[in-house]
A = this chain, B = another copy of it.
Amino acid sequence: METKIPISVDCVIFGFDDKELKVLLIKRSQPPFQNCWALPGDRLRIDEDLRHAANNVLDRLTGVRDIYLEQLFVFGRLDRHPSDRVVTIAYYALVNISENEPKPSSFASRAEWIRISKIGDLAYDHRKILDKALRRLRRRFRGRPVGFELLPEKFTLSQLRRLYEAVLDQPLDKRNFRRKMLKMDFLLPLEEKQKDVAHKAARFYSFNRERYEELAAQGIRFEF
């Protein structure tokens, strides 16, 4: 009985443009699913480490590189691929859109940031993979402070709040949000403020990752 099976990796890359949550998709230039939108993904080679493979695939198809990919789930239904049996390992990541301009290549004729709300069906079972990634993302946002990867280095508390509102898909009270976040004590207030805005300039903050790790190591729980 055959026990060697093709494995692929697929990447769900989330970005945020200060208003909406987006995902990095490619348009396939080849069958199967020619001209369909799909998650960037390709076969795993036998000498590739899994996470490296995911990074390589992503780079090959979209030019996005060197990001931290986290394993999401394995999808292995017998019928998930139209011809072969292919087991796919899905990875996901959060990145800053403005620092990751996609450039299509290989079998991707296009590679673009697409708004979540505009995404319909995708190639293979990629829509299911995306939905799973979205559920995971929401759970993560409630359970601990993530998502700083989706923002620029310096951000205002309103930007951070809008991100949470976009991901959790619900409005959040400005004052309570601010208090809760600042109490956690891993946001570093900067001297710098917004400029050229038609309203009171907001203070910038940066995420103090070291402080966060320190607190997390002490077992502190950051519920949201």
Interface string of A83-123 (1 = CB under 8 A from B): 00101010000000000000000000000000000000000
Copies of this protein chain in the complex? 2
Q: Is A46 within 8 A of B7, CB to CB?
A: no
Residues of A within 8 A of B (CB): 1-7, 43-47, 49-50, 71, 73-74, 76-78, 85, 87, 89, 143, 223
Residue from B3, B49, B73, B74 within 8 A of A46 (CB atoms):
B3
Residues of B within 8 A of A223 (CB): 223
Q: When the two chains form their complex, are residues A5 and B7 in contact, meaning their CB atoms are under 8 A apart?
A: yes
With the chains together, A110 CA to B2 CA distance in Å? 27
Do B1 and A46 touch (CB < 8 A)? yes
State the CA gap A211–B211 with chains docked (Å): 42
A131 to chain B, nearest CB (A): 16
